[in-house]
Amino acid sequence: MKKNSFKLLWHYLRNDKLKIIIYIFLILLNYLPSLISAYFWGKALEYLILKDMTNFSIYLLVWTAIYIIFYTFLQVPTQKIYNYLSTKFMRNVSYDLYKKIDNLPSIAFEEIGVGEFVNRLYDDIDRIMTLLAQLVKLICQSIVVIFVFILSFSISIYLGAELVIFSLIMGLISYNFFPKIKETQKEIKSEVDGYIKNATENITGIREIKALGIKKNIEVSIFKRLNNLFKHNKKIKNYETTYYSLNNLIYFILQFAILLTCGYFVIEGKVEYSVFIMLDMYIWRVDNVVENLSDFGVNYSKVKVSLSRLDELINNRLYKDEEFGNVTLNDIKGIIEFKDVCFKYRDNEPYALKNLNLKIEPNRKVAIIGRSGNGKSTIFNLLLRYFDVNEGIIEIDGVNIKDLTEKSLRDSISIIRQSPYLFNMSIKDNFKLVKKDVTLTEIRKYCQNAYIDDYIMSLPKKYDTIIGEGGINLSGGQKQRLAIARTLMLNTKIILFDEATSALDNESQEYIKRSIDNLVKDHTVIIVAHRLSTIIDADLIHVINEGHLESTGTHKELLNNSDLYKKLYNNEE
């Protein structure tokens, strides 16, 4: 593992050093029977051959007692300590990883799919503690094998040499197969991420997929992913099958050679029969360590990828955390100003906004319009600090928004989107998630202002109705009105409407326009719209063209002074 990976592990385990030491000690004790039980079993067999029932019974009893003590009583504290370390490690890493994902910049969620994040949250973490436990056991098993080597050389240099030669051959086989397994594992991990990402997106959008009649196209794409995944899985299993076959071949040859040599020494009277039995039982320990080394190598490759992926997020190697200032807005007025703002989403893309200068005053209904892709929604993304400007500054009440605390920024601005996100819980809980102490009476008041209360009260379970994932059980207009009601509860000074009335019927749209008019009295209200009919009564309309402010005025003024606005308006009629 890389040094950084060890640091990541140590960061989460360092406070439990004593428990780790005790765990390793208990594991060592668990392997003690592997060293001493073979001797007692061998002696028991010697006395059995001599028909000495008393000594046979004594050695058999000692042999049994060893296993009862070490494999029964010691297993409980050993497993409990492991369960404690494993649970604590996975919990703490999961907490930190989720917090990191929460604090990632918006660009991260465009470049890495939701499914991949979910995979990193669970699958990667689960593998790590399993490997650590395997590593401890492998070390303890290796100590047993060292004892076997010492015993073998003490009996005969030839016997020890046989063990060394065959161990080297086993190691050489492992050395040749591990890199292939590791490389294939990377390919599998990449395919799994892609599959989970695509499957998550497709299942989330299943209704749209059915409506568009593209189920077959989506299935072809998913099945291609699955075929690649299973192709790599087949490849890695073939490597493992070949490896284990070769390893077994060497083991049986080793077993034959060791037993033949030991048998010769027994016949010659150079070693006791019990030593022969011991070595017969110890041979599989050597092979077991080599096999476990193989498993460890395969799992190490998997965990190395997982650790690297966790390290990328936790230690900000892919993206930096969102950074906020320490300024808090008190008695906010709601004056917004863009000063020479330039922004583009990626380095190789053109600017979405170019030298934009824009000032928005409170207590006025302000609209921003323009052709699709000309920067309207970008203005909201920057104001909410989903992205930061490349050049220039954005101010609220004369304070650079980069200097504001996250809480101050979020408490000052709320947004109602064209496709609002609602949680898969009851209507009432969607409000309580935002404000825990809100009462049903208050919720109904907000819903009445958004003209959705009558509909909710007509439902069998009223405000306890489960709305489905993303509000799937509601119509587009109902979702938007519910989102508006939820935003009204926040009572932020600045309220952004991003095509918030686009999915409403004419009657509901009129109701929402009245709500907006009421909000204007005490708030800064900004509306981004494609449909000019929804904003012709705005106090001020800003026309954005190719990332800069083309013109500003009322509906009548712009019809006379702005060719672009006039063209957009006429095209809509």
CATH number, position 454: 3.40.50.300
- For residues 7-14, average pLDDT: 74
- For residues 278-289, average pLDDT: 70
Query: Is residue 291 scored above 70 in pLDDT?
Result: no
- Residues 283, 426, single domain; the answer is no
Number of domains in the chain: 2
Least confident of 137-146, 338-347, 481-490: 137-146
Q: What percent of the chain has pLDDT over 70?
A: 83
Domain assignment of residue 42, yes or no:
no
Cβ-based neighbour number of residue 358 at 10 Å:
19
The last residue of one of the domains, among 284, 314, 344, is 314
Cβ-based neighbour number of residue 25 at 10 Å:
12
CA torsion through residues 250, 252, 253, 255, sign? positive
User: H helices of 31-156, where?
Assistant: 32-49, 53-68, 75-102, 106-111, 114-119, 125-155
Predicted local distance difference test score (pLDDT) of residue 528: 87
- Residues 342, 309, single domain; the answer is no
- Residues 252, 353, single domain; the answer is no
* DSSP classification of residue 307: H
Burial 66-98 (b: 16+ CB within 10 A, else e): beeebeeebeeebeebbeebbebbbeebeeebe
pLDDT tens-digit readout, 405-415:
888 888 888 88
User: H helices of 156-214, where?
Assistant: 157-204, 206-212
> Cα separation of 307 and 301, whole Å?
10
Query: Is residue 136 scored above 60 in pLDDT?
Result: yes
Greater confidence (465 vs 89) lies with 465
Predicted local distance difference test score (pLDDT) of residue 209: 66
Query: Is residue 236 scored above 80 in pLDDT?
Result: no
Predicted local distance difference test score (pLDDT) of residue 400: 92
Predicted local distance difference test score (pLDDT) of residue 302: 64
In Å, how far from its chain's centre is CA 34? 41
- Residues 310, 341, single domain; the answer is no
Residues forming a β-bridge with 339 = 393
Greater confidence (168 vs 440) lies with 440
> Cα separation of 53 and 160, whole Å?
34
Average pLDDT over the chain, rounded to whole? 79
Query: Is residue 297 scored above 70 in pLDDT?
Result: no
Predicted local distance difference test score (pLDDT) of residue 152: 78
Residues 6+ away with beta carbon under 8 Å from 394: 336, 337, 338, 339, 341, 382, 383, 400, 401
Single-letter amino acid, residue 423: F
Domain assignment of residue 44, yes or no:
no
- Contact assessment for residue 334 and residue 494, using Cβ atoms and an 8 Å cutoff: yes
- Residues 221, 348, single domain; the answer is no
Tokens 């096999």 sit on residue: 291
Predicted local distance difference test score (pLDDT) of residue 109: 67
Q: How distant, in Å, are the alpha carbons of 428, 451, 482, 515, 530 from that of 510? A: 25, 10, 16, 9, 17
Query: Is residue 1 scored above 50 in pLDDT?
Result: no
The last residue of one of the domains, among 314, 348, 367, is 314
> Cα separation of 18 and 20, whole Å?
5
Domain assignment of residue 507, yes or no:
yes
* DSSP classification of residue 179: H
Query: Does the predicted model carry a pTM greater than 0.85?
Result: no
Greater confidence (333 vs 198) lies with 333
Single-letter amino acid, residue 116: E
- Residues 345, 231, single domain; the answer is no
Q: Which domain holds residue 261?
A: 3-30+74-314
- Residues 402, 291, single domain; the answer is no
Domain assignment of residue 562, yes or no:
yes
Domain assignment of residue 218, yes or no:
yes
- Residues 350, 279, single domain; the answer is no
Domain assignment of residue 320, yes or no:
no
Domain assignment of residue 442, yes or no:
yes
Taking every pair of C-alpha atoms in the chain, what is the biggest distance, in angstroms? 118
Q: What are the structure tokens assigned to 267, written together?
A: 């016949």
> Cα separation of 137 and 28, whole Å?
8
pLDDT band at 440 (very low <50, low <70, confident <90, very high): very high
Q: What are the structure tokens assigned to 276, written together?
A: 């022969």
Cα three-residue angle 462-465-470, rounded to 5 degrees: 135
- Residues 362, 477, single domain; the answer is yes
Kindly report the CATH number assigned to the domain that includes residue 138: 1.20.1560.10
- Residues 409, 267, single domain; the answer is no
- Residues 300, 344, single domain; the answer is no
Number of residues in the chain: 573
DSSP states along 283-330? HHHHHHHHHHHHHHHHHHHHHHHHHHHHHHHHTTSSSPPP---SB---
The last residue of one of the domains, among 255, 279, 314, is 314
Q: What percent of the chain has pLDDT over 90?
A: 6
- Residues 342, 488, single domain; the answer is yes
Helix, strand, coil distribution of the chain in percent, nearest 5: 70, 10, 20
Domain assignment of residue 283, yes or no:
yes
Please give the sequence-ordered ranges of beta strands (E in DSSP) within 158-211, or none if there are none: none
| Closest by Cα among 534, 527, 569, 545 to 375 | 545
> Cα separation of 410 and 418, whole Å?
19
- Contact assessment for residue 298 and residue 175, using Cβ atoms and an 8 Å cutoff: no
> Cα separation of 303 and 308, whole Å?
8
pLDDT tens-digit readout, 98-107:
777 777 766 6
